[in-house]
Structure formats: structure tokens, C-alpha cells
Structure 1
Amino acid sequence: MDMDLAKLDKEIVNNEAYDHLAERWYEAQDDPIALLRNQHKVEMPWILEEIRRNIGYHAEILDMGCGAGFLANDLALAGHSVQGIDLSTSSLKVAQNRDVTHTVHYQQGDVYSVPFEKESFDVVCAMDLLEHVSDPRRVIAEATRVLRPGGLFFFNTFAKNPLAWLVVIKGMEWFVKNTPKDYHVYSLFIDPEQIREWADDSGLEVTQIRGIRPVFAQKAMLELIRTGVVPKDFRFKFTKLPLIAYTGYAKKMREH
């Protein structure tokens, strides 16, 4: 990692928690990453449908903080043209190896200054990213810069309230094996209205925000609490209120 990226890494909270995973990104059940995989299964069909409705069946997409490529690879599989950037070279290697289309372009990159020209993409995604950076407003502004007019910015992060703290931080610490220290930091959780404000400042208009949370009344939840291992059939659901985690998208309406 060069000096500039090493400096940036200090602004990405607990990036090393993902860096060590290697193939466990896709295989581990005894790690919080299993929850992320299962949440992705719920979000992915919705993301694809919103892209289809607003952009079409073929969009040029940037996945910021792409990790091991859960989102980028599925987007490519659906026929989109995808670029993925992340700080972790080990995660990028896994992402590339798991790209069955062999079409996604992965590179190490800075989410504060992405290596693309203005208005390069129809869609920019920042899923499970904003709560890991010290300056999410700057990330949103950079996403807006590389979006074309009418383009979509997708995001997912955690609400800032006691329930989110209890479920996301304490729940993982108590019940999920191999949860790293400070895996999530409460001070970096974001109120949905703050996202709306930052988006508006950048020339985006938030079109939709929907909550997403685990299904509490499921057998898999009891199994997780008993064993510390995430069952493969552990389920998430969308909710009307963004009380724990939430996902949404904004549309680029104007130049900032």
C-alpha cells in the first residue's frame, strides 16, 4: 500500500477486520460477515429492480468499498458494466476470483477521490461503507461527482439510536463468534435525516429509504444465540421504519 493509501486507511474504521477474511468472505458462518451476506440476499433483488426502473437493463456502475464483490459480481451477473474499488488488496483478489463473468474491473482505490472522470457512471453504490469512514459526507460528494445527471446513488448504513446500538454492536459482541473489537463504532452511525441533508447539499434527492433488520422470530436466531454461528438460512427483512439499519437511494438532480 503506498503512502497516500496508508494514510487513508487510518480514516477507514476497522478496515483490517475485512482484510484478513480471504475466502472466508464467502464461506465463514462463524463471523459477522455471514450476516452481511444474508442481508445482501434481501437487498440485491430490490437494487436490481430500482436500476431497471430508473436506468434500464444495462448500466455503468461503480461499487465504492466493494470488499470481496458480493454486490459488484451480482450486478455484473445481471448484465451491468461494473467497476469496483476498495483499499484491501486481499479482498479485491477474492472479488476477482469470484467474478464468474470475468467482466468486473477491480482496483485499489480511495473512496474520497475515486480514479474516474466526472459523470462516468449511471449508478454508484456505497453499501456497508458510510459507517466505516471518518467523513461520509465527502464520500457522498465524491459519488455525486462521478454520477451522470439522473444517476442513482445507493447506500446502506446504520441508524443512530439506542436500539441500533443494542442490536448491531452489543448483539454482535454477545452472540456472533469472531466479532472483532470495534467492528462497528456507534459514533459513526448516521441518522437518516443526516443522509438526506448531505445528499441535498451534493445535488442528490433521496428517493427512497427503507429499514432492514434481522427477523427476530426465527429458528435461526435462536440457533445463532445458542452457538455463535450464523445459520445459512438466517433471514433479514425490509421494514417501513429505519430503526436499526436502512438502505436507500438518491437521484442526481443538479450539479453541486
Structure 2
Amino acid sequence: MLKKTLGRVHDRLVFNRRVRVLVDQIGALVPAAAQMLDVGTGDGQIARMIGEKQAGAQVQGIDVMLRAKTHIPVTLFDGTTIPFADNSVDVVTFVDVLHHTADPQRLISEAARIARHAVIIKDHLSENWLDHATLRLMDWVGNAPHGVVLPYNYAPRQDWDRWFATAGLATDVFDSAIPLYPTPASWVFGRQLHFIARLVPAS
């Protein structure tokens, strides 16, 4: 009962604003007419809306589970190896997916393998115990009601930078001022715990 109540409150107060902000900010980083693959897409609603920000974008998704209804074409995958050929899409996106995985490095490297132009990531920064505790709470409230696996695998900026470099990616954009929450909630749940990055092939 508590999970369901918290889930309803979260959806009413946070979800709609979050979707609007993410669609605007990530959509602005996707080139026009891009072929875009969204990893861990769920029902594909956010990915579809991101694609609609750029004229002519073609959007598809992959996930470890297939839902009965999706807003974009979705292919099942094993959560480790992306079932696409090298350089087969323009852009790969991850929206709050990598901290749910056991090995973010593996999926970032897979994304770098198949992306011709960019890998775009929305995820979290955890630099200390307070960041970790806050993110755990946010994750539980937002995802536990939906049965999402929660490994709480958050990382500091230096880990993300290492993962990007190991994948052969250079940071083109890194923004940790993402206005997902209104004041005063942003003082607790914002404070640069979230980032959006666009990575491009390193020269």
C-alpha cells in the first residue's frame, strides 16, 4: 500500500515535469533526421517524444522485457550485448538506465560500437554518502511501485569519465544543472545529482 501511494504521489508531482525537461534537453542534442536507438526503453514513450523534437528522426528501442504495448518498435535483448551491427545507428540514448545495470562500462562500450555520431546519457552523480542515500530514496519511490530491479549502482564523475574514455568516447556536452524539480524540492533532490551528457567518438 505504501509503495502504491508513494508511486501515485511521485507520478503526480514529479513524473510529468521530469518527462518535459528530459524531452526538451535530450531532444535538443539529437540531430535532425537521426536514426536513434533507445536502450532500456520500457514502453518507448519518452524515446518517441525525444525523437519528435527533431524532424525526421527514426526511433527504435531495446529492452530486457517486452511490454504488451509500446510507442516505438522495441527489440528484446540480453541486457549486455546490443544486437546491432557496428556504426548502424546515428545516436544511442540511455535515460536513467545505466545505474540499473551491473556493468555500465559494457553497455557504454556497446553503444560506442554501434553509434556513428553520438551517445547521449541521462543518469546520476554520486560523490558521497548523502548523494547515494538521496538517490536510493528517489529510486525506490519512483521505481519500486513498478517492480523495477534496484541495484542502486550510482557512480561519481570520475568513474563516468573513465567509462567514457575506455569506450573511446569524448565528452561533447556534460550538464549537471537539470531542472527536474521545482523549488524547494530541487534543494534536496536536484543539487547536481543528475546529468545529461553527449559523447562523441574520440578523434
Q: TM-score range by the shorter chain?
A: 0.7 to 0.9
Asked if the contact 1:31–1:179 (Cα under 8 Å) also holds between the matched residues in 2, the reply is no
Q: Equivalences for 1:147-166 in 2 at 5 Å?
A: 147-148=115-116, 151-160=117-126, 161-166=128-133
Q: Which residue of 1 aligns with 2:83?
A: 115
- Distance between the aligned counterparts of 2:147 and 2:73, measured in 1? 32
Give how far 1:165 is off. 2.5
AA of the residue aligned to 1:133: T
Output one character per residue of 1:21-59: Cα deviation in whole Å (capped at 9) or x when no partner: 9xxxxxx9616566455323112112222223xxxx100
TM-score calculated relative to the size of structure 2: 0.79
User: Residue 92 of structure 2 is aligned with which of 124, 133, 155?
Assistant: 124
Q: Which residue of 2 aligns with 1:58?
A: 33
Secondary structure at the counterpart of residue 195 of structure 2: strand
Give how far 1:178 is off. 6.0
Name which of structure 1's ranges 125-134 and 190-199 shifts more when overlaid on structure 2: 190-199
- Distance between the aligned counterparts of 1:157 and 1:129, measured in 2? 7
Alignment RMSD, CA only? 3.3
- Distance between the aligned counterparts of 1:46 and 1:125, measured in 2? 12
Q: Which residue of 1 aligns with 2:8?
A: 30
Q: Which residue of 1 aligns with 2:58?
A: 81
Q: Which residue of 2 aligns with 1:197?
A: 162
AA of the residue aligned to 1:41: R
Output one character per residue of 1:183-229: Cα deviation in whole Å (capped at 9) or x when no partner: 6444x1011221111111111001222223653535xx5xxxxxxxx
Name which of structure 1's ranges 209-218 and 129-138 shifts more when overlaid on structure 2: 209-218
Count residues with an aligned counterpart: 193
Residues 1:215 and 2:181 aligned together: yes
Q: Which residue of 2 aligns with 1:134?
A: 102
- Distance between the aligned counterparts of 2:110 and 2:100, measured in 1? 16
Secondary structure at the counterpart of residue 43 of structure 1: helix
Q: Could you list the runs of 5+ residues in structure 1 that have no partner in the other structure? A: 1-16, 22-27, 222-234
Q: Could you list the runs of 5+ residues in structure 2 that have no partner in the other structure? A: none
Q: Are the structure 2 counterparts of residues 113 and 176 from structure 1 closer, same or farther at C-alpha, using a change threshold of 3 Å?
A: closer
Q: Are the structure 2 counterparts of residues 180 and 165 from structure 1 closer, same or farther at C-alpha, using a change threshold of 3 Å?
A: farther
AA of the residue aligned to 2:50: L
- Distance between the aligned counterparts of 1:135 and 1:68, measured in 2? 23
Give how far 1:135 is off. 0.5
TM-score calculated relative to the size of structure 1: 0.64
Q: Are the structure 2 counterparts of residues 86 and 190 from structure 1 closer, same or farther at C-alpha, using a change threshold of 3 Å?
A: same
Give how far 1:164 is off. 2.3
- Percent identity (aligned): 21
User: Residue 41 of structure 1 is aligned with which of 5, 14, 20?
Assistant: 20
- In our comparison, the structure showing a higher alpha carbon Rg is 1
AA of the residue aligned to 1:84: G
Q: Are the structure 2 counterparts of residues 70 and 182 from structure 1 closer, same or farther at C-alpha, using a change threshold of 3 Å?
A: closer
